[in-house]
Structure 1
């Protein structure tokens, strides 16, 4: 897991890595079913450059310079654009969150031209407004972002004014009535490593392949360092390699649960994030809709050894929220040991995932980092 409305949050999960080629006048890009690492060496984009994205083939004659980022209850797209140094191409951004893990991120996002003010309203850019902006590229978290029934401009309408459209690859199946089996599989198998797909896509479209590869490598190196430390610790404890069970809970998103309980983030993307930190999800294998019907009884019965507490709005007192949750579920091992860690946007798929993995691992495996 991965823009964020006040009523729901689901940052776009990006599932399989893409095979990318950039040679000749018809250089192409299309998703495949088997994960593949980024290209080992960056190659300059040869325009015209053709991309097949969620079933739509588009040819870029040059790097985009008038980019609009739709909300889509996501933060992944705008943070990827910033991480790749593409800030100056953005003419309107609708993605933002209430609180960030990386110092200075709020300032970077708020500095971008905004379509709806610098608050996490969750409102997206309606068709008439989007078309009037005359973008040459629109970035979206899912196919639902181009649903005319929701007042959004369609990909066809945008193409008619010369605007290309890119959906974060593994989110193709969301909001797409004719999603292919491969697209559905991509969504179901999302993991924190999937973000490389999006970096690679933007890297080739904007001709910043070297930066995209560098970003992927930096994240990999940070995560590998964490995993090496956890594995080294495990080697000193033969016969006790059980992973602590963790729960990602966001009190500020209690509106997502029918009983007003803290939102519990589940699904393959969150499972993979916890696994990378040397833990396992207390509700492993549940899809991301699980939180809607989650009951207090299910929470009480869960084996929670580490509480991962997600921040949603600036000014939240997460220490007080942790105390409140632990008082409600004193039987948890996490409650007995006051074992919790706080996160913000790094919990959702995107360039900040290494921060989350590092923070969770240090609480779940303190001896590995002493």
Structure 2
């Protein structure tokens, strides 16, 4: 995990879903069966992205996915059956709510790149990959001051670029599940697989609506969402979620963020005393490269026995489904079942 770039900025950017049935399968779609050539008659395609116009004369075939401490972009491409277009992927997680997803990501080419201090692709290495599309979670990945290839430099070598929703100003505190759908639709348009994107979106919306209907009349428990063994600030609890897509997922699952008012940004930097003084009805631990997130959850419940969550042993562990990406419905389902088991 990169340490030299502020981890809160990285994580704030932060999943086999080609059909409803595929979401339950044990493997990702194979590149051969899912990535039929796009009909070139559908081009040129133009999208607006962070104040720029990106025009695609054909479907990209040499895609580079930058790190950004996210798996949103690579997971979206895999969900759309576009894994064979990737020549270098720097996003990795090691686990997923989607069976087969983590292994599918691990199997993608990296391009044998020597990464920079931010654990991402420096300028010369990027140009050497000869990409025709580069994806970045936030605009940070195209900041020339940090040794990255700028979007103008990519355009000079006939490569398009794309920053994911809410990543333009690197403030993802306003992110919602709708932004995951925007990412899917944009990639569907770019690669001329819009029908696949719409099927994924429709399935996700249906599943979230079904869950929300079951819990809409329930009391909303207060939930603490925290990254396991992660330090982002100076206090004991500096990786507590305050705002962002996490809150949208909690709301649709019939819950509420216990620390939403603790910060105006995506993460709150809290003292142990503040955490101890807050009634936490349920705990969600997000695993980002944590070796044993369940052990971390149990440790917190033992540390704060006064919490209703500790008294009732109410917790769950999530990985990629709670981030921007194509699998948010899985997070909604899992959190709702934790908060309102009697509704299922």
TM class, shorter-length:
0.7 to 0.9
Q: Distance in 1 between matches of 2:293 and 2:177?
A: 28
CA shift in 2, pair 1:256/1:347, >3 Å: same
Structure 1 residues 322-333: aligned runs within 5 Å: 322-333=297-308
Q: Is the 8 A contact 2:138 2:167 kept in 1?
A: yes
Structure 1 residues 1-370: aligned runs within 5 Å: 5=2, 8=7, 9-12=10-13, 46-115=42-111, 123-174=119-170, 187-231=172-216, 234=217, 241-253=218-230, 255-261=231-237, 263-285=239-261, 286-291=263-268, 293-313=269-289, 315-316=291-292, 318=294, 320-369=295-344
CA shift in 2, pair 1:358/1:94, >3 Å: same
Q: Is the 8 A contact 1:100 1:344 kept in 2?
A: yes
Q: What SS does the aligned partner of 1:194 have?
A: helix
- How far 1:223 moved relative to its partner? 0.7
- How far 1:348 moved relative to its partner? 1.3
Q: Is the 8 A contact 2:68 2:137 kept in 1?
A: yes
- How far 1:300 moved relative to its partner? 0.9
Unaligned runs of 5+ in 1: 14-42, 175-183, 235-240
Q: Distance in 1 between matches of 2:2 and 2:100?
A: 22
Q: Is the 8 A contact 2:165 2:183 kept in 1?
A: yes
Q: Is the 8 A contact 2:242 2:267 kept in 1?
A: yes
Q: Which residue of 2 aligns with 1:36?
A: none
Q: Distance in 1 between matches of 2:143 and 2:292?
A: 34
Q: Which runs of 4+ in 1 moved over 6 A?
A: none
Q: Is the 8 A contact 2:40 2:59 kept in 1?
A: no
> What is the root-mean-square deviation in Å for CA atoms of aligned residues?
2.3
Q: What SS does the aligned partner of 2:42 have?
A: coil
TM-score normalized by the length of structure 1: 0.79
Q: Distance in 1 between matches of 2:41 and 2:73?
A: 21
- How far 1:102 moved relative to its partner? 1.8
Q: Is the 8 A contact 2:165 2:179 kept in 1?
A: no
- Say how many residue pairs are matched: 313
Q: Distance in 2 between matches of 1:259 and 1:50?
A: 45
CA shift in 2, pair 1:199/1:289, >3 Å: closer
Q: Which residue of 2 aligns with 1:177?
A: none
